[in-house]
Amino acid sequence: MTAVAVKYPEFRELKVEVLAISVDSNFSHKVWQEVELSKMVETGIPYPMLSDPGGKIGSLYGVYDDEKGVDVRGRFLIDKEGIIQAMEILTPPVGRNVAEVLRQLRAYQHHQRTKELMPSGWQPGKKTLPPETETLTRAGHVWEIWKPDMAF
């Protein structure tokens, strides 16, 4: 959450809304913000932290652990039509990668503008694949325009 807070201006430049949701109460969020998060990020978390008592939202997204009464770590990229474009669910030992979330957001937005497809590891300015309709006609020939080493 604090890594997202540090990169929050980049999310805003992309016109992305960020929400944090957990089963914790608003009071818990306030205390956590004051006691912990504000010490890692000077201004604290600049986006809303929402409370989902009982895990109703977490259940809808498949991240609520009913046995423990908590949400596992998850992130969802949801487009303007409410469709999940990407998701990642991680257990507590591994944190999320904010750079990867930003890369994916840029890739989806590039696709929306151009209809081009972004191959593995795509970064802005790197080679894309033609729009899906054209790529389908290239089946068996994608190797001519994209190589695995381009993913790195």
If you average pLDDT over residues 73-80, what whole number do you get? 94
Per-residue CA distances from 138 to 37, 116, 131, 133, 144 (Å): 50, 14, 11, 9, 9
Residues 72, 65: Cα–Cα separation, whole Å: 7
pLDDT at 82: 93
The domain spans of the chain are 2-92, 115-151
pLDDT at 107: 97
Inter-residue contact 8 to 47 (CB < 8 Å): yes
Q: pLDDT digits over 44-69, tens only? A: 899 999 999 999 999 999 999 999 99
Average pLDDT, the chain: 92
Per-residue CA distances from 125 to 9, 61, 106, 110, 114 (Å): 21, 33, 11, 10, 13
Inter-residue contact 48 to 20 (CB < 8 Å): yes
Inter-residue contact 75 to 96 (CB < 8 Å): yes
**89 pLDDT higher than 80:** yes
According to DSSP, residue 21 is labeled E
Q: Which long-range contacts (CB under 8 A, 24 or more apart) does 130-136 make?
A: none
Say which CATH architecture domain 2-92 belongs to: 3-Layer(aba) Sandwich (3.40)
pLDDT at 135: 67
Q: pLDDT digits over 112-151, tens only? A: 999 999 999 999 999 999 897 776 677 788 888 889 999 9
pLDDT at 10: 97
93: left (phi over 0), alpha (psi -120 to 50) or beta: alpha
Q: pLDDT digits over 34-43, tens only? A: 999 999 998 8
